[in-house]
Amino acid sequence: MRSRTSLADRISYGQETIADLLGKMPTEGLRSNTLSVRRSYDEAIRNAIGHIECSALTTKDVATLLDAINKEGKMRWAQAIRCRINEVCNKGIALGWKEKSLAAVTERVKVKVIRRRLTLDEFKAILAKAPAVSDWLENAMLLALVSGQDRSTVARWERSAVKGDVIIARRSKTDVKVAIPTALRLDAIGM
């Protein structure tokens, strides 16, 4: 037997907007930094296509948004927005508000990485200027270089983290603890 949908249900179907869908995205269990970044993505999406009904969103709408961001030279931002729109569309599919993810069929944004590693000479030149910036910066830079830890991990180190012949570093992003020997040496800088 075939189920029948009333006229009222058919008229009301699809009136949920992309902005409504953004409000349904899960936030529990996420770190505050992740939430902050996602809020900025969501705000950009809401401003550009939030008024469009979920059922009326087209690939062209998504592509136009991404193209506008690309033309500003913000390729990494466009890449992140495309990824977020894909997550939002998948949530819409799960809620029954959308049929398919339109972001998935848009052209992938190509980002050319322009960062590179510092050379030892460049590091030493920056290190020489560190005392003028702050008293602690030189030590923090040397600790980061010798230990291979990121700045947020080094910034949270206290003397109490030294346990015998190791220092216990707790990675801020992953919360993983790493034991680093205090006898660790980096001969390139004589430490």
Quick count: other Cβ atoms within 10 Å of Cβ 28?
A: 4
Confidence grade of residue 10 (pLDDT, cut at 50, 70, 90): very low
Q: Which of 39-48, 60-69, 108-117 has the lowest average pLDDT? A: 108-117
Contact of 18 with 45, CB cutoff 8 Å:
yes
Q: 14 pLDDT band (50/70/90 cuts)?
A: low
Contact 33, 103 (CB under 8 A): no
In this predicted structure, the answer to whether residue 189 has a pLDDT above a threshold of 90 is no
Q: Are the C-beta atoms of 32 and 4 separated by less than 8 Å?
A: no
Average pLDDT over residues 116-131: 90
Q: What's the pLDDT band for 31 if we cut at 50, 70, 90?
A: confident
Report the chain's mean pLDDT, rounded to a whole number.
85
pLDDT at 104: 79
**Residue 48 tokens, joined:** 């550009």
Give me the mean pLDDT over the 81-104 stretch: 88
Stated pTM of the model: 0.60
| Residue 21 binned pLDDT confidence (cut-offs 50, 70, 90) | very high
- pLDDT confidence band for 1 (50 / 70 / 90): very low
CB 115 within 8 A of CB 99: no
